[in-house]
Copies of this chain bind each other. A is one copy, B any other.
Amino acid sequence: MKNTFESRRRFLLTAGTAAIWIPTAVRGYSSTELRSLEAEQLKSANISKWELDTPALCVDLDALEANLTMMQQTVTSNGIASRPHAKTHKCPAIARLQIEGGSVGICTAKVSEAEAMFEHGVNEILLTTTNVSPSKITRAMNLRKWCTGFIQATDSSENARSLSEAAQASGIIADVVVDIDPGMHRTGISPGQPALELAQLVDQLPGLHLRGILCYDGGSQHVKGFSKRKAQTLERLAAAGETYGLMQRSGLNTEIFSGGGTGSYNIDHETPGFTDVQAGSYVFMDAQYLAIGGANDPELYSDFRPSLTILTTVLNDQYDGRVTTDAGAKACTINQPWPIVKGETGMQYRSGSDEFGTILYDDPSRSYRVNDKLEVIASHCDPVVNLYDQMYAVRGDRVEAIWRVEARGMSS
């Protein structure tokens, strides 16, 4: 036993020193190794993404920056703002880029995400989900105590009263928006009179400060074809728009009318009163959004560039018409359309197996060989990012930074 213990101790001691752990002559940098480098060291090390240990999650900085600019320019020229949803990237480094680029704040889906974002430098946070348990309500109101830019959604009078009590117990007045159901019946209160009455209650409760409304129509974001998507988006946002009018005429605060997403970012401003787009996926794009079509191309949604990829290595090439890679469902999820092999045609990627990816060749003359690396575009960016502790920020082929996915796994 002593020998085993001693072995483990020595293994752990050596595991930290790169010279023993991964000889530089070999390369194939692991995340542990790279995280130990300072940003300046990382730049001078001049590491190519192709030297990374795989599977590795990468974000292309040129594409990401183009996406941030495209969103900001569009919403600005349409007279509204962006309040991007951080549930997509879960990454404070990207949230800070969004805010520096002109966004009025970010959204989060869970209180734990909001906590992680605030802990890492983000101050303007709209929590789009109603917290219902006493502990979560207390956590949110405690967060609001320190994070003055925190705004909480609510969708019932009982919840609003609980929020107000918790806010008073924390010695604060909490900013609140009323979450309105666009017809999905998933979250939110019904538009019209129910929403108006809730807004009036929020306005009157001593611990709360009404800021406006929120209406996210997830069901319209992936409607294929721009004109069909536009028609559905506007139709389903109409009732929230009428509620906005009711609230205004009642003298309530309507400074926020937030909603929309990557599929409707250039449509939402047509609803009167609408103030800001909560788009998330636009930073990365993914195979699902590419397929919905845009205003100029019915087959390809090209407003934003795919920036999120998974690097993978071929493990087996012994069988005709296919190879096996190291990136399966645990690296890519099983979302469809399947990941797209970047820069290639004539082949299909499958990530249905937990541990292994498969490439099927349409053209049997194609061949990847064992140890070849390739890059796939993520199928559905949100759950893919949620599998990784870090993403490699890459310019061209060079790794410029390692960004921690600080809110990874924060589903509570």
Asked if A266 is at the interface (CB within 8 A of a chain B CB), the reply is: no
> Is chain A's binding surface mostly helix, strand, loop or mixed?
loop
Asked if A388 is at the interface (CB within 8 A of a chain B CB), the reply is: yes
Closest to A179 in B: B316
Give A147 to B55 CA distance when docked, in angstroms: 24
Asked if A190 is at the interface (CB within 8 A of a chain B CB), the reply is: yes
Q: Are B146 and A7 in contact (CB under 8 A)?
A: yes
Q: Are A189 and B318 in contact (CB under 8 A)?
A: yes
Q: Which residues of B contact A11 (CB under 8 A)?
A: 118-119, 143, 145-147
Q: Which residues of B contact A316 (CB under 8 A)?
A: 130, 155, 186-188
Give A139 to B187 CA distance when docked, in angstroms: 48
Given known contacts A26-B134, A53-B135, A411-B387, is B146 in contact with A324 (CB within 8 Å)? Answer: no
A: interface residue count bin: 35 or more
Q: Are B139 and A4 in contact (CB under 8 A)?
A: no
Given known contacts A146-B8, A316-B130, A334-B334, is B411 in contact with A322 (CB within 8 Å)? Answer: no
Give A146 to B123 CA distance when docked, in angstroms: 47
Most chain B beta-carbon contacts within 10 A, residue among A326, A358, A408: A326
Interface flags for A123-146 (1: CB within 8 Å of B; 0: not) read 100000110111110110011011
Given known contacts A8-B119, A109-B355, is B133 in contact with A382 (CB within 8 Å)? Answer: no
The distance from the CB of A329 to the nearest CB of chain B, in whole angstroms, is 5
Closest to A159 in B: B370
Give A354 to B186 CA distance when docked, in angstroms: 12
Asked if A192 is at the interface (CB within 8 A of a chain B CB), the reply is: no
Asked if A330 is at the interface (CB within 8 A of a chain B CB), the reply is: yes
Give A7 to B118 CA distance when docked, in angstroms: 10
Given known contacts A134-B26, A138-B26, is B189 in contact with A156 (CB within 8 Å)? Answer: no
Q: Are B185 and A383 in contact (CB under 8 A)?
A: no
Name the contact of A335 in the complex, choosing from B186, B324, B334, B388 (C-beta under 8 A): B334
Q: Which residues of B contact A10 (CB under 8 A)?
A: 146
Asked if A386 is at the interface (CB within 8 A of a chain B CB), the reply is: yes
Given known contacts A11-B143, A156-B318, is B135 in contact with A355 (CB within 8 Å)? Answer: no
Q: Are B87 and A4 in contact (CB under 8 A)?
A: no
Given known contacts A326-B412, A387-B386, A411-B387, is B187 in contact with A133 (CB within 8 Å)? Answer: no
* Contact stretch, chosen from A15-23, A63-71, A296-304, A341-349: A15-23
Q: Are A115 and B146 in contact (CB under 8 A)?
A: no
Q: Are A322 and B133 in contact (CB under 8 A)?
A: no
Name the contact of A138 in the complex, choosing from B22, B138, B218, B335 (C-beta under 8 A): B22
Q: Are B187 and A356 in contact (CB under 8 A)?
A: yes
The distance from the CB of A27 to the nearest CB of chain B, in whole angstroms, is 6
Asked if A178 is at the interface (CB within 8 A of a chain B CB), the reply is: no
Q: Are A54 and B129 in contact (CB under 8 A)?
A: no
Interface flags for A152-196 (1: CB within 8 Å of B; 0: not) read 000110110000000000000000000001000111111000000
Closest to A90 in B: B330
Closest to A162 in B: B371
Asked if A56 is at the interface (CB within 8 A of a chain B CB), the reply is: yes
Asked if A110 is at the interface (CB within 8 A of a chain B CB), the reply is: yes
Asked if A30 is at the interface (CB within 8 A of a chain B CB), the reply is: yes
| Given pairs A129-B326, A159-B370, A181-B319, 4 additional interface contacts (CB within 8 A) | A26-B138, A27-B135, A132-B370, A185-B318
Listed A/B pairs (18) with beta-carbon separation below 8 Å: A8-B119, A10-B146, A11-B118, A11-B145, A15-B115, A30-B135, A30-B139, A110-B355, A130-B316, A132-B313, A132-B371, A158-B370, A159-B370, A185-B318, A187-B315, A189-B318, A354-B382, A354-B383
